A and B are shown apart, each in its own frame.
Chain A
Amino acid sequence: LCTMNKDAQMRATINQKLIETGERERLKDLLRAKLIECGWKDQLKAHCKDVIKEKGLEHVTVDDLVAEITPKGRALVPDSVKKELLQRIRTFLAQHANL
């Protein structure tokens, strides 16, 4: 029974292509490097420390931290980084137009 709609199916196909060609890994590496370069990683690290100080080291689990910092993490990604990755993905899709 196929319960996926067309969008989700497209996403899955693209994702598979990204993984197969190794592009997903490359994009991840690029994103990692960009986020360190622009100071995002340091900002979030500082935020983590604040959360731990506030809640106390004994009372915070990794999952708590993840839940706490994810929204801020998402918001702090600079537009230029988003643009660049989008550009990369677009280029990739253009090259694999037979999707």
Chain B
Amino acid sequence: VYLSLFQAKSCICHMCGAHLNRLHSCLYCVFFGCFTKKHIHEHAKTKRHNLAIDLLYGGIYCFMCQDYIYDKDMEQIAKEEQRKAWKLQAFTPTVVSHYQCTMTGIGEKYSTWEPTKRELELLRHNPKRRKITTNCTIGLRGLINLGNTCFMNCIVQALTHTPLLRDFFLSDRHKCEMQSPSSCLVCEMSTLFQEFYSGHRSPHIPYRLLHLVWTHARHLAGYEQQDAHEFLIAALDVLHRHCKGDDNGKKANNPNHCNCIIDQIFTGGLQSDVTCQVCHGVSTTIDPFWDISLDLPGSSTPFWPLSPGSDGSVVNGESHVSGTTTLTDCLRRFTRPEHLGSSAKIKCSGCHSYQESTKQLTMKKLPIVACFHLKRFEHSAKLRRKITTYVSFPLELDMTPFMASSKESRMNGQYQQPTDSLNNDNKYSLFAVVNHQGTLESGHYTSFIRQHKDQWFKCDDAIITKASIKDVLDSEG
């Protein structure tokens, strides 16, 4: 019967020829009839065939009871057939939608959870249940500072409140591939999530995490203050490697073929177009990225103007008010066409010689979680300093103007499609902000994280306090 769903489009009602009116199939003989127009009811009455199956959802209807019935054996068979059918159908997206699958890319069909005997036992032995209300503080926990480890604490807070990551770990999806599980950072993350969501309110002491980080990212070892951004990248790198069981970076790192949870959530694609100024040929490369590092005004490289002849156009509903730099300004600068001067000529494959060119970066593929890094710490040959310029950032960010596809549309003279504003694919919601107070030599990291939809909390090592949205948006970033 389930394989017949393949041919569902060729099944039509034997009485009126329609195939859209809740078609049912008789379980006694070969007859298809509409439910809505009562054709199947007529058949049931005249032939006394009292059972029929709904061809869309598989429910079994009994004409005597005048209702759908639920038989345990039939449900078992249905589940099994559904599973088989899903495997066959996995490549035809239109039919797959009938099973309400969520395309998580993990290749599993969504099915409602039913407890096994063992799970029922566990649930009976552990009767304590936790209910999530709007003002409960589950998931919030302070972290003890183990000696200038606030840079690590902030990133940990941000990661434990990344919804997809949280769901991954709390549903036990990590299967350790490492030779020695005790050195697996992913296992340690899993434990960390358990600690955070355990409901304990005392601060957690992340000594094991720190030790693992020191072991696998030597450049971060030691009690000096480190850079939170560097820690984020190092942590993502180690987690990504450990997901594949790669202990010491020996396995070939091919980011294009990795499907680990880190790549699924954090990896985006950055497109770099180099245009030859003579023949206008474009050479394109796409590189994976975990973060977007943005230059700020006040650094030694000039910030304004954003691009030759640019105006203060309105993007994301913010117009450029002179005086306040916005995140959007930084992004526009990041994606501006840049003249690579005469000292940096590129070999053009079209002209077969070295020519001047312009380079432009755009987003080819957006990650699910985007990390924006404001380059506040300047380490140039002359000086090391911190740029404290306030950069305002929004709660909601639309990345559409910075996409490679948008650039192509603009170049082809098409204006932005109106349906794009209805399309939510490029829109982001803010959920974590990491701030640094102080100077390059001595400073302190704190973070703001969003717990429920509009509830923000400030995390200062072991101290968690409620924060307002204004506090978050006013912070330096």
Contact = CB atoms under 8 A, between A and B. Distances in A.
Interface of A: 22, 25-26, 28-29, 32, 36, 61-63, 80, 83-84, 87
A21 B400 CA distance: 30
Interface in B421-477: 422
Interface in B30-74: 59, 66-68
Given A22-B94, A63-B67, 18 more contacts: A26-B94, A28-B97, A29-B94, A29-B97, A32-B97, A36-B100, A61-B66, A61-B67, A61-B68, A62-B59, A62-B67, A62-B68, A63-B66, A80-B422, A83-B422, A84-B419, A87-B419, A87-B422
Contacts of A36: 100
Given A61-B67, A62-B68, A84 B422 contact: yes
A26 B93 CA distance: 10
A28 B68 CA distance: 24
Contacts of B100: 32, 36
Nearest to B61: A62
A47 B153 CA distance: 44
23 contacts: A22-B94, A25-B94, A26-B94, A28-B97, A29-B94, A29-B97, A32-B97, A32-B100, A36-B100, A61-B66, A61-B67, A61-B68, A62-B59, A62-B67, A62-B68, A63-B66, A63-B67, A80-B422, A83-B422, A84-B419, A84-B422, A87-B419, A87-B422
Interface string B208-231: 000000000000000000000000
Contacts, number: 23
A84 B94 CA distance: 20
Interface residues of B, number: 9
A37 B82 CA distance: 24
B11 to A, nearest CB: 14
Contacts of A87: 419, 422
A83 B422 CA distance: 10
A74 B67 CA distance: 23
Interface of B: 59, 66-68, 94, 97, 100, 419, 422
Contacts of B97: 28-29, 32
A98 to B, nearest CB: 24
Nearest to A81: B422
A5 to B, nearest CB: 20
A92 to B, nearest CB: 13
B85 to A, nearest CB: 17
**Closest 5 CB pairs between A and B?**
A61-B67, A29-B97, A62-B68, A25-B94, A84-B422
A16 B66 CA distance: 33
A62 B419 CA distance: 38
Contacts of A61: 66-68
A14 to B, nearest CB: 14
B40 to A, nearest CB: 13
Nearest to B66: A61
Contacts of A62: 59, 67-68
A68 B451 CA distance: 37
B293 to A, nearest CB: 32
Nearest to A83: B422
A23 to B, nearest CB: 11
A51 B434 CA distance: 47
A83 B100 CA distance: 23
Contacts of A26: 94
Contacts of B422: 80, 83-84, 87
Nearest to B93: A29
B300 to A, nearest CB: 46
A38 B97 CA distance: 18
Nearest to A24: B20
A45 to B, nearest CB: 12
Contacts of B67: 61-63
A86 to B, nearest CB: 11
A87 B417 CA distance: 12
A62 B70 CA distance: 12
Contacts of A80: 422
A71 to B, nearest CB: 17
Contacts of A32: 97, 100
Nearest to A88: B419
A83 B423 CA distance: 12
Nearest to B102: A36
Contacts of A83: 422
Contacts of A25: 94
Nearest to B59: A62
A28 B59 CA distance: 20
